[in-house]
């Protein structure tokens, strides 16, 4: 029976929301499941028993805490493999569970990220505080394993995973597999860990196999051809660059550009709040410098991880050259017998400060040594994708995705010291060029479902990117909810990103209020947190009327300052203590009314 156009539209929207959360293997599994369901006349195929109904001893509980979405992806891929075995799986974000529910579990696999200065992801704060406190529950009957994600460029690499692994053991839980500390190049670590963890949990999940028939994936003939073409982190889509246009003007101290890329034919979909993952390549100028300083031949064939490629290809596309991380420095110091580096590694704080101002070429320049290609390649970290908040609505720019990119670093004295992706996006690529990309869904940074709900958006600098998408999307949907944007930069004349668009939205009523802070346009520096405090009465009234608050930008200073300003607004205008104000913000966060996207 043919579906009506209206029903097709509803189903398409529902499936788009599902597809945004799945990678290629999961979509293949789903396609087989739906094909089998259709052949069964619509009768549901055997499924895993819901976690609240299954024997707790026979349920694999998978909890994750993430900032960028990497942890969620690891957990979802493991869940898909476990369900393919016929096991009951309870997959949840730590934002959605009561921490003390852990006392009811028999088997837990925890996928947890570290961000900032050894901090837990925001969605995992409550769980982390409980488990690392004196109030942590006894967990003598729990079996567990931890997969920790981090960035070895930071001194507190995987610290949250380390802390929770120790805390679970201290609480009496039994570790079934040693913790894995995974760097930003997570694919290799995940590929090794996934079969090991599945093997480790198999004896604990055997009871479910008798009652859960294994789902058989329908073979290629039943799988739609498009399913095999789904693009994700491991199978990116080559997007055509359509436009690169400057958003800042001379004499700005910053170089920020607006980019538009085509997703036509990709099958990719996104929602406002999602990010675009970009796989960068290094500039030939930087690669040539490293080859010159090491004296190595770029055409030499080098093997790494079972792959053999020319050295120049490894350096251009596969290995990290613009960030200096501890593992690289440790191996480089060992290869060259560089005692000065070994001494520097012993001073944690000095080493962290040293790394921030250097790239791989600088280390080679400062501490030259004789190198062979194979060991040199082995000591470099694999390159990782860069995530950029999407600055467009799919309802406005069909088959396109827009980004707001600030150039990090630059070129001085014929030496290129810039961010790999930001240099490529703003300096190297030209319209018509291709770029490997994928969509990283962020379900924790979504617009409110209610179209009449007020929204307060706080996004200084390039943190304004997702809010361009928010305002466009609400306007396209005809939502009547009020929108208030707080934007900050250094100078109004040179740094007012998307100024004409915001003014147009104000005229059309799609933006209710615009509050700006240009820090260098007066003697005293003024930031977005100051504007929040100045307009505290109105901000509080919006909060009392149910407004959702969104913050995007630097997590090192801005986000904390804005949080303090919001707490101060609540304390002053509600007439409550600072502690009660913090509790109200925590309640807003639990209710999904207070969200952050920080980096």
Task: Please report, for the chain, how many H helices and E strands are present, in that order.
Answer: 21, 21
Domain 455-598 belongs to what topology? Rossmann fold (3.40.50)
20 has a pLDDT exceeding 90: no
- Is the Cβ–Cβ distance between 365 and 286 less than 8 Å? no
The encoded tokens of residue 51 equal 């976690």
Same topology for domains 46-209 and 455-598, yes or no? yes
CA distance 201 to 61: 11
β-pair partners for 513:
484
Residue 108 CB partners (closer than 8 Å, separation 6+): 61, 62, 63, 102, 142, 143, 144, 145, 168, 173
CA distance 34 to 29: 9
At 56, is the pLDDT very low, low, confident or very high (cuts 50, 70, 90)?
low
Of 31-35, 68-72, 220-224, 542-546, minimum mean pLDDT range: 220-224
Q: What is the mean pLDDT of residues 256-261?
A: 98
Instruction: Tell me the pLDDT of the chain averaged across its residues.
Output: 88
Of 85-89, 224-228, 275-279, 381-385, minimum mean pLDDT range: 224-228
Residue 140 CB partners (closer than 8 Å, separation 6+): 172, 173
502 has a pLDDT exceeding 70: yes
At 206, is the pLDDT very low, low, confident or very high (cuts 50, 70, 90)?
low
The pLDDT, as a whole number, for residue 22 is 54
Where is mean pLDDT largest: 39-48, 208-217, 381-390? 381-390
The pLDDT, as a whole number, for residue 43 is 43
Quick: pLDDT tens for 536-568. Answer: 999 999 999 999 999 999 877 899 999 999 999
Of 23-32, 486-495, 545-554, minimum mean pLDDT range: 23-32
433 three-class SS: coil
389 has a pLDDT exceeding 60: yes
The pLDDT, as a whole number, for residue 18 is 57
CA distance 49 to 59: 9
The pLDDT, as a whole number, for residue 116 is 78
At 153, is the pLDDT very low, low, confident or very high (cuts 50, 70, 90)?
confident
Report the relative pairing of strands 275-278 and 434-440 from DSSP bridges: antiparallel
Quick: pLDDT tens for 518-544. Answer: 999 999 999 999 999 999 999 999 999
The encoded tokens of residue 210 equal 């008798």
505 has a pLDDT exceeding 90: yes
Domain 284-379 belongs to what topology? NADPH-cytochrome p450 Reductase; Chain A, domain 3 (1.20.990)
Quick: pLDDT tens for 288-345. Answer: 999 999 999 999 999 998 999 999 999 999 999 999 999 999 999 999 899 999 889 9
Give 158: exposed, middle or buried? Use CB within 10 Å, 0-12, 13-18, 19+: buried
Q: What is the mean pLDDT of residues 284-291?
A: 97
The pLDDT, as a whole number, for residue 593 is 97
Q: Cβ of 265: how many Cβ atoms within 10 Å? A: 11
Report the relative pairing of strands 107-113 and 59-65 from DSSP bridges: parallel
Q: How far is CA 469 from the centre of its chain?
A: 18
Listed residue (417, 423, 380, 378) closest to 289, CA to CA: 417
Of 23-32, 86-95, 345-354, 398-407, minimum mean pLDDT range: 23-32
- CATH superfamily entry for domain 237-280+385-440: Translation factors (2.40.30.10)
At 215, is the pLDDT very low, low, confident or very high (cuts 50, 70, 90)?
very low
Listed residue (263, 513, 514, 502) closest to 403, CA to CA: 263
14 has a pLDDT exceeding 90: no
The pLDDT, as a whole number, for residue 588 is 96
At 42, is the pLDDT very low, low, confident or very high (cuts 50, 70, 90)?
very low
CA distance 501 to 498: 5
589 has a pLDDT exceeding 80: yes
Q: What is the mean pLDDT of residues 67-85?
A: 93
Q: In the 3-class helix/strand/coil scheme, how is 359-414 assigned residue by residue?
A: CHHHHHHHCCCCCCHHHHHHHCCECCCEEEEECCCCCCCCCEEEEEEECCEEEECC
The pLDDT, as a whole number, for residue 477 is 96
Report the relative pairing of strands 237-246 and 275-278 from DSSP bridges: unpaired
- Is the Cβ–Cβ distance between 274 and 284 less than 8 Å? no
At 213, is the pLDDT very low, low, confident or very high (cuts 50, 70, 90)?
very low
Q: What is the mean pLDDT of residues 355-379?
A: 95
CA angle, residues 522, 527, 528, in degrees to nearest 5: 135
Instruction: Write the DSSP symbol of residue 572.
Output: H
- The percent of residues above 70 in pLDDT, for the chain, comes to 86
Q: Cβ of 331: how many Cβ atoms within 10 Å? A: 16
CA distance 597 to 462: 12
Domain range list for the chain: 46-209, 237-280+385-440, 284-379, 455-598
* Number of residues that make up the chain: 599
At 30, is the pLDDT very low, low, confident or very high (cuts 50, 70, 90)?
low
207 has a pLDDT exceeding 50: no
Before 263, cis peptide (omega within 30)? Answer: no
Quick: pLDDT tens for 436-477. Answer: 999 999 998 999 999 999 999 999 999 999 999 999 999 999
Residue 91 CB partners (closer than 8 Å, separation 6+): 62, 64, 75, 76, 79
- Is the Cβ–Cβ distance between 251 and 493 less than 8 Å? no
* Strand blocks (E) in 254-353: 256-262, 275-278, 301-304, 307-310
Report the relative pairing of strands 174-175 and 301-304 from DSSP bridges: unpaired
The pLDDT, as a whole number, for residue 74 is 96
The pLDDT, as a whole number, for residue 31 is 55
95 three-class SS: helix
The answer to whether domain 46-209 has CATH 3.60.20.10 is no
175 has a pLDDT exceeding 50: yes
CA distance 373 to 470: 48
Instruction: Write the DSSP symbol of residue 317.
Output: I
Instruction: Write the DSSP symbol of residue 281.
Output: -
Q: What is the mean pLDDT of residues 57-69?
A: 89
* Torsion angles phi and psi, residue 390, rounded to 5: -75, 135
21: left (phi over 0), alpha (psi -120 to 50) or beta: alpha
The pLDDT, as a whole number, for residue 68 is 86
Listed residue (205, 143, 200) closest to 171, CA to CA: 143
């Amino acid at each position: 029976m043919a579906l009506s156009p209206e029903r097709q539209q509803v189903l398409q929207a529902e499936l788009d929301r599902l597809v945004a959360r799945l990678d290629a293997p999961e979509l293949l599994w789903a396609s087989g499941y739906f094909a089998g369901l259709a052949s069964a006349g619509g009768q549901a195929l055997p499924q895993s028993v819901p976690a609240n109904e299954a024997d707790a001893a026979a349920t694999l509980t998978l909890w994750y805490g993430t900032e960028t979405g990497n942890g969620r992806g690891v957990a979802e891929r493991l869940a898909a493999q476990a369900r393919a075995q016929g096991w009951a799986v309870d997959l949840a974000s730590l934002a959605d569970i009561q921490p003390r529910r852990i006392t009811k579990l028999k088997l837990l696999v925890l996928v947890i990220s570290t961000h900032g200065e050894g901090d837990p992801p925001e969605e995992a704060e409550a769980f982390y505080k409980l488990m690392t406190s004196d109030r942590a529950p006894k967990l003598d009957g729990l079996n567990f394993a931890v997969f920790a994600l981090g960035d070895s460029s930071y001194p507190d690499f995987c610290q949250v995973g380390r802390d929770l692994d120790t805390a679970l053991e201290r609480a009496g839980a039994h570790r079934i597999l040693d913790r894995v500390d995974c760097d930003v190049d997570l694919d290799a670590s995940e590929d090794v860990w996934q079969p090991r963890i599945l093997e480790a949990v198999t004896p604990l999940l055997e009871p479910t196999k008798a009652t859960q028939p294994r789902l058989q994936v329908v073979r290629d003939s039943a799988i739609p051809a498009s399913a095999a073409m789904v693009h994700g982190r491991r199978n990116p889509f080559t997007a055509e660059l359509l436009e690169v246009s400057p958003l800042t003007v001379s004499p700005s101290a910053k170089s920020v550009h607006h980019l538009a890329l085509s997703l036509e034919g990709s099958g990719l979909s996104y929602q406002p709040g999602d990010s675009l993952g970009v796989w960068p390549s290094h500039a030939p100028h930087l690669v040539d410098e490293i080859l010159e300083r090491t004296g190595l031949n770029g055409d030499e064939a080098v093997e790494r991880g079972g792959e053999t490629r020319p050295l120049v290809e490894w350096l251009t596309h596969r290995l990290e050259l613009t960030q200096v991380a501890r593992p690289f420095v440790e191996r480089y110091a060992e290869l060259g017998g560089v005692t000065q580096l070994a001494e520097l590694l012993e001073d944690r704080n000095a080493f962290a400060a040293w790394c921030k101002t250097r790239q791989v070429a600088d280390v080679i320049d400062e501490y030259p040594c004789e190198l062979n290609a194979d060991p040199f390649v082995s000591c470099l970290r694999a390159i990782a994708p860069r995530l950029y908040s999407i600055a467009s609505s799919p309802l406005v720019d069909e088959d396109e995705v827009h980004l707001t990119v600030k150039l990090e670093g630059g070129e001085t004295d014929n030496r290129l010291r810039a961010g790999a992706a930001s240099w490529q996006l703003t300096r190297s690529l030209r319209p018509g060029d291709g770029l490997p990309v994928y969509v990283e869904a962020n379900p924790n940074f979504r617009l409110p479902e209610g179209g009449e709900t007020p929204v307060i958006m706080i996004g200084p600098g390039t943190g304004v990117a997702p809010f361009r998408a928010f305002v466009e999307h609400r306007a396209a949907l005809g939502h009547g909810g009020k929108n208030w944007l707080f934007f900050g930069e250094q100078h109004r004349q040179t740094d007012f990103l998307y100024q004409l668009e915001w003014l147009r939205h104000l005229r059309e009523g799609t933006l209710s209020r615009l509050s700006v802070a240009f820090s260098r346009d007066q003697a005293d520096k003024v930031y977005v947190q100051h504007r929040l405090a100045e307009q505290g009465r109105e901000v509080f009234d919006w909060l009392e009327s149910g407004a959702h608050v969104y913050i995007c930008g630097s997590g090192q200073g801005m986000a904390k300052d804005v949080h303090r300003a919001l707490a101060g607004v609540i304390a002053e205008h509600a007439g409550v203590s600072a502690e009660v104000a913090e509790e109200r913000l925590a309640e807003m966060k639990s209710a999904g009314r207070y969200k952050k996207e920080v980096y």
